[in-house]
């Protein structure tokens, strides 16, 4: 059995955290490929090493002395090395970093050094072989990740290596210069490695015990989702749930490899399994709740709209010509509503209205701003009668007025629009009826 394990910045922020991570690795011989992040925050007011590196590089690029900043970063790593009682000296590495900073090697190079140095430490502490991602993670000349070239190189490279540490977040351009992933970098590296070695599981270790049903800033101590499908996860992520970037999901999804989100500080917790499909029944009717504020609804009315060929296409063409993407487009017989991000729309609203009048000749256009969209997602909703009724009843009891309703044909999600000011109350009401009520609370 093969497992790829990725540890986030909070899991590797100090020697104590690294000891926990390595204990997890050593407790299961199938955990063979380790993807470390750079050291994160040790406490709430701390600064991530990646941010320190950015600050240091910007000072170097401005021609200022960076001795104090380099020393501060070095001190973080020395504390870790001493805490692990390692015989490891990174002095030469820091001299190289200083030289590259002064020669302005780029902010991508600067950011990557956090993972690189942490990888050297983990390699020394575990005895696993260190592999520099610059040798195996490829970007093309335009700076785009070269998936298939990387897969071929990495698969061949790891064929004869049983245990390895491969830092996350970066790779190299064709000329050898360092290039980082834009978002969720270490998660992406872990997924790429899992695909290359055909891992049985990709474990993503962080500071929470899995994917939560909803935002813990809105609902206190929300339940952990036991199993979630990629489709459900994509719906929740799109609506604002902070889980994994979709670029980190695609490589393993392509190979049918499950992802297990785990908690470094509570390794006994099973976490959340993210899978392609499952016959396992969800614990609750819904899987998760997520949402975003800041939308605007453009309501278009016209008699006999439904019989006018190409009406919807012409409406959307106006938005496209103004560089505005739409989120949802619920419609009736003589009405059509386009929901867009308010921040993108406001500067162009009058241009769009004029364009709609010239293009589709509506009877009336009105707009409503400061709306929030909430997605209620769950594979269990399809088999459960009255789900929508429960949802609307819960919002009614919470005195939340529903401004918009949209449900996909897959019956995987229901999206409701509410006022921004009702956003948190709506999520709490939905959680209460679908989770707390089922728990008997």
Segment 4-18 shows an average pLDDT of: 97
pLDDT of 410 over the 90 cut? no
Segment 126-131 shows an average pLDDT of: 98
| Residue 341 placed within a domain | yes
> Alpha helix (H) ranges present in 127-197?
147-158, 185-197
Q: What domain range is 194 assigned to?
A: 3-207
Segment 381-408 shows an average pLDDT of: 88
Q: How much is the pLDDT for 58? A: 97
**Quick one: pLDDT band at residue 246, thresholds 50, 70, 90?**
confident
Between 28-32, 131-135, 378-382, the lowest mean confidence (pLDDT) is in 378-382
Q: How much is the pLDDT for 406? A: 83
User: What is the token pair recorded at 73?
Assistant: 């970063």
| Residue 52 placed within a domain | yes
Segment 226-247 shows an average pLDDT of: 84
CATH, residue 104 = 3.40.1160.10
Q: How far out from the chain centre does Cα 181 lie?
A: 13
| Residue 201 placed within a domain | yes
| Residue 434 placed within a domain | yes
What does each C-alpha distance from 383 to 69, 287, 380, 430 come to in angstroms?
A: 58, 13, 6, 18
Domains: count for the chain: 2
| Residue 256 placed within a domain | no
**Quick one: pLDDT band at residue 158, thresholds 50, 70, 90?**
very high
The verdict on 186 and 69 lying in the same domain is yes
pLDDT of 237 over the 90 cut? no
Q: How much is the pLDDT for 312? A: 93
The verdict on 189 and 40 lying in the same domain is yes
**Quick one: pLDDT band at residue 330, thresholds 50, 70, 90?**
confident
The verdict on 161 and 304 lying in the same domain is no
For 347, half-sphere exposure in the C-beta direction (CA atoms, 13 angstrom radius) is 5
Higher-confidence position of 301 and 381:
301
Q: Of 376, 373, 377, nearest to 327 (Cα)?
A: 373
**Quick one: pLDDT band at residue 239, thresholds 50, 70, 90?**
confident
pLDDT of 165 over the 70 cut? yes
For 101-127, write each residue's pLDDT tens digit. 999 999 999 999 999 999 999 999 999
Q: How much is the pLDDT for 279? A: 85
Q: How much is the pLDDT for 296? A: 95
The verdict on 154 and 295 lying in the same domain is no
pLDDT of 383 over the 80 cut? no
The Cα 267–Cα 317 span in angstroms is 51
Q: How much is the pLDDT for 183? A: 66
The Cα 332–Cα 172 span in angstroms is 51
For 248-286, write each residue's pLDDT tens digit. 888 898 899 999 999 999 999 999 999 998 888 788 889
The Cα 260–Cα 269 span in angstroms is 11
The Cα 25–Cα 126 span in angstroms is 9
Higher-confidence position of 234 and 297:
297
Q: How much is the pLDDT for 282? A: 82
The Cα 51–Cα 42 span in angstroms is 14
**Quick one: pLDDT band at residue 441, thresholds 50, 70, 90?**
low
Q: How much is the pLDDT for 248? A: 81
pLDDT of 397 over the 90 cut? yes
pLDDT of 399 over the 80 cut? yes
Domain boundary among 207, 239, 266: 207
pLDDT of 226 over the 70 cut? yes
How high is the mean pLDDT of the chain? 93
Segment 424-439 shows an average pLDDT of: 92
The verdict on 318 and 170 lying in the same domain is no
**Quick one: pLDDT band at residue 176, thresholds 50, 70, 90?**
very high
Q: Residue 312: how many CB atoms within 10 A of its CB?
A: 17
| Residue 218 placed within a domain | no
Domain boundary among 184, 207, 230: 207
> Alpha helix (H) ranges present in 2-106?
15-26, 49-61, 67-83, 91-102
The Cα 54–Cα 375 span in angstroms is 36
Q: How much is the pLDDT for 254? A: 86
Q: How much is the pLDDT for 440? A: 67
The Cα 435–Cα 414 span in angstroms is 16
For 73-99, write each residue's pLDDT tens digit. 999 999 999 999 999 999 999 999 999
CATH, residue 433 = 3.30.2130.10
Residue that has been written with the tokens 């393993």 in this structure: 252
| Residue 233 placed within a domain | no
pLDDT of 184 over the 80 cut? no
Burial of 409 (0-12, 13-18, 19+ CB in 10 A): exposed
Q: How much is the pLDDT for 374? A: 95
The verdict on 51 and 199 lying in the same domain is yes
| Residue 383 placed within a domain | yes
The verdict on 195 and 304 lying in the same domain is no
Domain boundary among 207, 226, 245: 207
């Amino acid at each position: 059995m093969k497992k790829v394990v990725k540890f986030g910045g909070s899991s590797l922020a100090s020697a104590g955290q690294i000891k926990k991570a390595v204990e997890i690795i050593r407790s299961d011989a199938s955990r063979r490929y380790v993807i470390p992040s750079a050291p994160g925050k040790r406490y709430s007011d701390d600064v991530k090493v990646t941010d320190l590196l950015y600050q240091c590089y910007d000072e170097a690029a401005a021609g200022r002395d960076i001795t104090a900043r380099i020393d501060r970063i070095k001190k973080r790593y020395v504390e870790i090395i001493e805490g692990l009682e390692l015989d490891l000296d990174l002095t030469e590495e820091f001299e190289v970093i200083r030289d590259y900073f002064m020669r302005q090697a780029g902010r991508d190079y600067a950011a990557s050094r956090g993972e690189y140095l942490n990888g050297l430490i983990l390699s020394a502490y575990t005895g696993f072989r260190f592999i520099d991602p610059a040798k195996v993670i490829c970007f093309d000349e335009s700076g785009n990740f070269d998936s298939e070239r990387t897969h071929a190189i990495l698969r061949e490279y790891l064929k004869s290596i049983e245990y390895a540490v491969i830092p996350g977040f970066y790779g190299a351009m064709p000329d050898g210069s360092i290039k980082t992933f834009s978002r969720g970098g270490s998660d992406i590296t872990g997924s790429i490695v899992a695909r290359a070695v055909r891992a049985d599981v990709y474990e993503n270790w962080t500071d929470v015990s899995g994917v939560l049903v909803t935002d813990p800033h809105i609902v206190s101590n929300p339940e952990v989702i036991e199993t979630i499908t990629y489709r459900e996860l994509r719906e929740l992520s799109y609506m604002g749930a902070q889980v994994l970037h979709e670029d980190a999901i695609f490589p393993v999804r392509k190979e049918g490899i499950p992802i297990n989100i785990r908690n470094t500080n509570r390794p006994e917790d099973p976490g959340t399994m993210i899978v392609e499909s499952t016959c396992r029944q969800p614990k609750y009717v819904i899987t998760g709740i997520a949402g975003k504020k800041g939308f605007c609804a453009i309501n278009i009315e016209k008699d006999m709209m439904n019989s006018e060929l190409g009406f919807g296409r012409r409406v959307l063409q106006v938005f496209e010509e103004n560089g505005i993407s739409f989120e949802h487009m619920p419609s009736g017989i003589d009405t059509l509503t386009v929901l867009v991000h308010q921040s993108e729309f406001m500067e162009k609203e009058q241009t769009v209205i004029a364009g709609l009048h010239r293009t589709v000749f509506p009877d009336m256009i009105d707009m409503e701003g400061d709306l929030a969209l909430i997605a209620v997602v769950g594979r269990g909703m399809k088999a459960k009668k009255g789900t929508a009724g429960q949802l609307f009843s819960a919002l009614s009891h919470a005195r939340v007025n529903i401004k918009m309703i949209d449900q996909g044909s897959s019956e995987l999600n229901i999206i409701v629009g509410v006022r921004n000011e009702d956003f948190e109350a709506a999520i709490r009401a939905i959680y209460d009826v679908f989770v707390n009520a089922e728990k008997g609370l």
